[in-house]
Amino acid sequence: MTTTPGADPTMAHRIGEQTVTVLGPDGSPLAGAEVTVAQRRHAFGFGNIGFDFIPLANDEHALDPKEVETFGGASIEQLERLAELWLDVFNTATLPFYWGRFEPVRGRPDTGRLRRTAQWFADRDVDLKGHPLVWHTVTAPWLLDLSTTEVEQVQRQRITRDVTDFTGLIDTWDAINEAVIMPVFDKEDNGITRLCRAKGRIATVRMAFEEARAANPDATLLLNDFDMSTAYECLIEGVLEGGVQPDVLGLQSHMHQGYWGEEKTLGIIDRFARFGMPIHFTETTLLSGHAMPSELKDLNDYQIPDWPSTPEGEERQADEVVRHYRTLLSHPSVEAITYWGLTDDGMWLGAPGGFVRKDGTPKPAYDALRGLVKGDWWYAPTTMRTGADGTITVRGWYGDYEVAARGETATFGLDRTGTAEVRLG
Amino acid sequence: MTTTPGADPTMAHRIGEQTVTVLGPDGSPLAGAEVTVAQRRHAFGFGNIGFDFIPLANDEHALDPKEVETFGGASIEQLERLAELWLDVFNTATLPFYWGRFEPVRGRPDTGRLRRTAQWFADRDVDLKGHPLVWHTVTAPWLLDLSTTEVEQVQRQRITRDVTDFTGLIDTWDAINEAVIMPVFDKEDNGITRLCRAKGRIATVRMAFEEARAANPDATLLLNDFDMSTAYECLIEGVLEGGVQPDVLGLQSHMHQGYWGEEKTLGIIDRFARFGMPIHFTETTLLSGHAMPSELKDLNDYQIPDWPSTPEGEERQADEVVRHYRTLLSHPSVEAITYWGLTDDGMWLGAPGGFVRKDGTPKPAYDALRGLVKGDWWYAPTTMRTGADGTITVRGWYGDYEVAARGETATFGLDRTGTAEVRLG
């Protein structure tokens, strides 16, 4: 297996051994009792976008195409089944805060619908991330009517408002997206590129982190980019030099032009792991159809009427999904992977990158990923007997667990502390 | 003609009008006198490497191949003729301070030979630049025996020593070369990459500028790179954020894979001109033979036994040289262009990128460039009569001029001040 000094394919860094003291209702250790231990949740973030489920969470039964989010737009009738598939594999959802969609008319943000969607996920034990607070694409068109000074002012206010409005529900944010290209982005005139050209990248990144941090000091804030070249490294160095400390580095990995392979992927992770911050793979796509031509520089330039998922493509996708997830989890710096969509229905660019076909049936990649997340990398329910001191030893994947005995259930976290205590009843 | 808002093909920014008061030997204005005005030198830096002339300046008549500089190694017998060709077009020479060549044995730097070479150029009214003070390629191999802390120490000392030793002769330096790739350069283990990986790019850049500035506060210090992508922009932002102020941005333009064309070139200049610093095109190559395959990422990977200059290639090269120089001079931010070699004999990579063939005869590109530098862009000697107040008006390219009358000659600078005074006799 391809690996690097920074990676460990045995995944030892994701597995711990916990001594759990099981107490009875009276608080004394439950000696010699038969208990069943089961994993409930991964510590690792297995994420996907949750854009599709806004109508479901809001009990909307008609879908105005204009209202469909740019990325993610599955048909209403499929949503309940898709939600089951989603929830069976993923534990972290990214919600859309594209300014141009979230607040197409100044002063009328879509806060209510997004809050209900976030709550819907939270009720199902799913962590949330908001994406993104600052970006030049799909930004508010009305910024073009403002001066650069005013753009900065409203951008700061929007960060404060949205981070505040969602504190407690969404405590992880892509504070800024694609700052490397931001000031030289030339596809479309927009207020954020103007602002970034005037302020510079580092000052724009600082603005995003400053406001988000002030609004929610406990938030986890990401610097996120698709540029895996030395450009992003240089930006990170400059950002750190400028006294801005991201909590997490976000790396995109939309592989519409073909799977990167293990060597390239680990090389990229090693280069960014040098900064000592945790890494999230924030946006991952692997196709079950033909690849986009490699000469295209901007994925958005590829627009075709029909991009089919094929049987061979689906087999390859399943294989690549397994390889990609295995590779990422083998590196201790990676703490989360967010896949960019569940279903081909309404997927970004019309690409067959989902785990589910347009007709709602799961592709092999879905079963393959589930086989890892809930199989190879999952602690299967295990019945055992507590010792004389009421303890059991659980060796498993970091995450949340439950102990059940005599109709009672209690939970504990399997983490690096090595010990836990649960009280039944 | 392709242009951008930042460029002006009329070159108005390079041309000034000067009122020159001509004084006689007694210091009073020389009224109604016939004088001849001639340009002696360009303010713009028309540069080339001066590596070839080290043996000539040192009166060396045998050449040990091991002693030939990595870039530039024309045969001894051609040197006097080459020097004439060189001096007829260029006014600025880059001299080699590749650490691995300059000080192959620790403590035995090649200071004497390089000082004599610098003096040889200075005697011929040529400005000098030293290249480079910090670089990971052709660096001292003995750094590999040192700890990273020691590498930093000797690197700092070497900057101080060499900048000090050449102050007054060489007051312009590439303080650091190719910092974008420096910490991730993986072709060859070397002490500077190790150092840069440990310190980070910005701290390494700061080290270079700190030491060079301290050793020669009046020096012009460049940050130089071949990476024209957003990576270099991000590095520059970070460097400025870190409080390091280069005097000039150096952009390489080795076009072994084909001429960039006007649009790309101006786009690059505009992106870097945003930082408000003067720009030097520090390393330019255009071939008179076939292009290197475009898929190669590192030019050094292309090694062929014979790379001929062809008649069609020479016509194309002459055309591209004219287009490239015209494009660069059309942008007010560009203050110098250094071409990377005069002759194909001993040229870097064996490429036919010179202005002179291996047999010593000039190619069309030589005449084409000379036609610009000493023709289109040159103030032809002009005879005129001073007014009653002893003044003449000279409209010409910024640079050094002379006024001659009655067997006496005096010089003045044509610059942005608009006025000058010369005293004859």
Q: What is the pLDDT along chain B (425 residues), one digit of tens a residue?
A: 566 778 999 999 999 999 999 999 999 999 999 999 999 999 999 999 999 999 999 998 766 555 544 445 667 778 999 999 999 999 999 999 999 999 999 999 999 999 999 999 999 999 999 999 999 999 999 999 999 999 999 999 999 999 999 999 999 999 999 999 999 999 999 999 999 999 999 999 999 999 999 999 999 999 999 999 999 999 999 999 999 999 999 999 999 999 999 999 999 999 999 999 999 999 999 999 999 998 888 888 898 989 999 999 999 999 999 999 999 999 999 999 999 999 999 898 999 999 999 999 999 999 999 999 999 999 999 999 999 999 999 999 999 999 999 899 999 999 998 899 999 98
**Which element (helix H / strand E) includes A118?**
helix A111-123
> B134 Cβ partners below 8 Å, 6+ apart?
B155, B159, B175, B176, B177, B179, B192, B204, B207, B208
Please tell me the predicted confidence (pLDDT) of residue B425.
82
Inter-chain contacts counted by CB atoms under 8 A, chains A and B: 66
Please tell me the predicted confidence (pLDDT) of residue B73.
63
| CATH numbers and ranges of domains, chain A | 12-40+382-423 (2.60.40.10), 44-376 (3.20.20.80)
Chain A residues near residue B180 by CB distance under 8 angstroms: 230, 234
Q: Which of B196, B230, B277 to mutate to test the interface with A (most CBs of A within 10 A)?
A: B230
Interface predicted TM-score of the whole assembly (ipTM), two decimals? 0.88
Flag if A238 and B241 touch (Cβ within 8 Å).
yes
Q: Which pair of structure tokens corresponds to residue B118?
A: 């610098």
CB proximity A6 to B under 8 Å: no
- Give B237→chain A minimum CA distance, Å: 7
Residue appearing with tokens 């080459």: B82
User: How far apart are the C-alpha atoms of B140 and B106, rounded to whole Å?
Assistant: 8
Cα A340 to the chain's mean position, in Å? Answer: 8
* Nearest partner of A314 among A373, A366, A375, judged by Cα: A366
Q: Which residue of A has its CA nearest to B199?
A: A237
Contact by Cβ (8 Å): B252, B232: no
Minimal Cβ distance to B231: which of A202, A231, A241? A231
Please tell me the predicted confidence (pLDDT) of residue B297.
85
CB proximity A201 to B under 8 Å: yes
Please tell me the predicted confidence (pLDDT) of residue A366.
98
Say which amino acid occupies B63. L
* Nearest partner of A117 among A106, A102, A104, judged by Cα: A102
Flag if B234 and A232 touch (Cβ within 8 Å).
yes
Contact by Cβ (8 Å): B22, B422: yes
Q: Enumerate residues 297 to 336 of chain B having a beta carbon within 8 A of any beta carbon in chain A.
A: none
**Which element (helix H / strand E) includes A92?**
strand A92-96
CB proximity B181 to A under 8 Å: yes
Minimal Cβ distance to B231: which of A197, A202, A234? A234
CB proximity A231 to B under 8 Å: yes
**Which element (helix H / strand E) includes A36?**
strand A34-42
Interhelix angle for A230-241 vs B230-241, to 10°? 10
CB proximity B237 to A under 8 Å: yes
Please tell me the predicted confidence (pLDDT) of residue B5.
75
User: How far apart are the C-alpha atoms of A41 and A399, rounded to whole Å?
Assistant: 5
Please tell me the predicted confidence (pLDDT) of residue B386.
97
- Give A234→chain B minimum CA distance, Å: 5
**Numbers of helices and strands, H then E, in chain A:** 11, 15
User: How far apart are the C-alpha atoms of A170 and A219, rounded to whole Å?
Assistant: 8
Contact by Cβ (8 Å): B249, B278: yes
How many CA atoms are closer than 13 Å to the CA of A304, on its beta-carbon side? Answer: 12
Q: Which pair of structure tokens corresponds to residue A132?
A: 């993104």
CB proximity B263 to A under 8 Å: no
Task: Give the β-pairing of B45-49 and B15-23.
Answer: unpaired
Contact by Cβ (8 Å): A401, A413: yes
Residues of chain A with pLDDT under 50: 68-70
Flag if B238 and A233 touch (Cβ within 8 Å).
no
At B6, phi and psi to the nearest 5? -80, -15
Please tell me the predicted confidence (pLDDT) of residue B61.
75
User: How far apart are the C-alpha atoms of A184 and A81, rounded to whole Å?
Assistant: 42
Minimal Cβ distance to B230: which of A184, A200, A274? A184
Q: Which of B182, B234, B266 to mutate to test the interface with A (most CBs of A within 10 A)?
A: B234
Please tell me the predicted confidence (pLDDT) of residue A376.
97
Flag if A202 and B241 touch (Cβ within 8 Å).
yes
Cα B188 to the chain's mean position, in Å? Answer: 27
Helices (H), A276-411: 311-330, 364-371
- Give A142→chain B minimum CA distance, Å: 26
Q: Which pair of structure tokens corresponds to residue A170?
A: 């969404």
User: How far apart are the C-alpha atoms of B128 and B173, rounded to whole Å?
Assistant: 9
How many CA atoms are closer than 13 Å to the CA of A168, on its beta-carbon side? Answer: 5
Residue-wise burial string across B375-399, b where 16 or more C-beta atoms lie within 10 A, e elsewhere: eebbbeeeeeebbeebbbebebbbb
Contact by Cβ (8 Å): B211, B160: yes
What are residue A371's DSSP bridge partners? none
* Nearest partner of A250 among A225, A273, A219, judged by Cα: A225
User: How far apart are the C-alpha atoms of A375 and B169, rounded to whole Å?
Assistant: 72
CB proximity B239 to A under 8 Å: yes
User: How far apart are the C-alpha atoms of A376 and A322, rounded to whole Å?
Assistant: 11
What are residue B9's DSSP bridge partners? none
Minimal Cβ distance to A234: which of B238, B271, B274? B238
- Give A239→chain B minimum CA distance, Å: 7
What are the angstrom distances between the C-alpha of B407 and each of B379, B422, B424? 21, 14, 9
**Which element (helix H / strand E) includes B36?**
strand B34-42
Residue-wise burial string across B357-370, b where 16 or more C-beta atoms lie within 10 A, e elsewhere: bbebebbbbbebbb
CB proximity A278 to B under 8 Å: no
